[in-house]
Amino acid sequence: MTRTAKFVHQVSRPQGVPTAGNFAFVEAPVPAPGPGTALVENIYLSVDPYMREAMDEGHWELNAPLEGRSIGRVVESRTPGLAVGDLVFHRYAWRTHAVVEPADVRLLRPPAGVPLSTYLSVLGGTGLTAYVGLTKVARVRPGETVFISAAAGGVGSAAGQIARLLGAGRVIGSTGSAAKAKHLTERLGFDAAFDYHDGPVGELLRLAAPEGIDVYFDNVGGEHLEGAIDVLRDSGRIAWCGAVSQYNSTEPPVAPRNLYDVVHKSLRLEGFLVRNHRDAQGELEEFLAPHLRSGRVRAEETVVEGFDHVVEAFLGMLRGENLGKMIVQVSAEAPEEAPGTAKDTVSR
């Protein structure tokens, strides 16, 4: 194991779209675990849309290591609660190494046929967001028509597949390019998909669902939410978990301008935070793991290799350069071989 740890600090607040200049890479000796703690070497780091909001005043502290979903391996331990070699989920991200207590982590024991990285994508917070939004908030029923915005992203691609498993009669997605729309229909089983750049969202959605929709899973807000309200049938439901269209805006949002239709149509609009539903993690894994093993569900992931590319991956995710969940791999899944063992190395 290398004896130098790397960290990313946020050093300034963005004004609008964040840039690489808002971050700095910092090196320090690998921290030593104290009594009751263990040292984790990170394997996978998650970069997520919510992190853009965390960059603003009152969230992430400047000039300090940042937080986020992470998967790592215990490499030193001074606590009986964690053994060397244990795979763990934790929230000490944007760094190569972290000192943790047993209460900080969740032990991971992936079943055969389930990749470790899926605990940051469809079996992680990304998949849990999709699952909670559809089952606990929108309560999708068999035969219903479901519309999902940002459908080629991590949460959206999981939501489309979960909606199908729940018996949705028609699944529609919006995304940012014709190629991504084609990916949704040809690879992920969406019935229809459109590039929202091609016209007003409400008009494009009406063409895809001329009889209306029953459920809208909202990752975007703004014009998407306005368009969905227009097309929702009476007593439709909106599960609202994100507003990525507004994260970089320096002006107050204009849309949606038809909020009173929530009353007129007897719609139900409910916002939710996945952190309030962590008790559903076991339910999610039980529901999805068999479908992952059978291949019925695809773990859509874009994996960027190398810790030095974590900021690049984050900014690329905000620009929509990923298909599915954006993940950064910072070390190998298999532990390093013993000293003196010959092995090929690749610089990242």
Q: How far is CA 237 from the centre of its chain?
A: 22
Give the angle subtended at the CA of 72 by the CAs of 106 and 344, to the nearest 5°.
Answer: 155
What's the confidence (pLDDT) of residue 250?
Answer: 66
Could you read off the pLDDT tens digit of each residue along the chain, which spans 348 residues? Answer: 568 999 999 999 999 999 999 999 999 999 999 999 999 999 999 999 999 999 998 899 999 989 999 999 999 999 999 999 999 999 999 999 999 999 999 999 998 889 999 999 999 999 999 999 999 999 999 999 999 999 999 999 999 999 999 999 999 999 999 999 999 999 999 999 999 999 999 999 999 999 999 999 999 999 999 999 999 999 999 999 988 877 676 677 777 999 999 999 999 999 999 999 999 999 999 999 999 999 999 999 999 999 999 999 999 999 999 999 999 999 998 765 333 322 222 233
Distances (CA, A) of 152 to 158, 197, 227: 9, 15, 19
In whole angstroms, give the CA distance from residue 149 to residue 242.
Answer: 10
What's the confidence (pLDDT) of residue 344?
Answer: 26
Distances (CA, A) of 314 to 100, 275, 308: 24, 21, 12
What's the confidence (pLDDT) of residue 345?
Answer: 26
In whole angstroms, give the CA distance from residue 163 to residue 173.
Answer: 11
Buried b (16+ CB within 10 A) or exposed e, 39-70: bbbbbbbbbbbbbbeebeeeebeeeebbbbbb
Tell me the whole-structure pTM to 2 decimals: 0.90
In whole angstroms, give the CA distance from residue 55 to residue 15.
Answer: 10
Per DSSP bridges, beta strands 268-271 and 97-100 are unpaired
Q: Hey, what domains does the chain have and what are their CATH numbers?
A: 4-121+300-329 (3.90.180.10), 125-276 (3.40.50.720)
In whole angstroms, give the CA distance from residue 211 to residue 85.
Answer: 54
- Pair 310, 8: CB distance under 8 Å: yes
Give the angle subtended at the CA of 329 by the CAs of 33 and 154, to the nearest 5°.
Answer: 115
In whole angstroms, give the CA distance from residue 132 to residue 280.
Answer: 8
Output the 3-class SS for 230-271: HHEEEEEEEEECCCHHHCCCCCCCCCCCCCCHHHHCCCEEEE
Distances (CA, A) of 320 to 52, 206, 326: 13, 24, 10
What's the confidence (pLDDT) of residue 80?
Answer: 97
Per DSSP bridges, beta strands 38-46 and 97-100 are antiparallel
What's the confidence (pLDDT) of residue 91?
Answer: 97
In whole angstroms, give the CA distance from residue 292 to residue 289.
Answer: 5
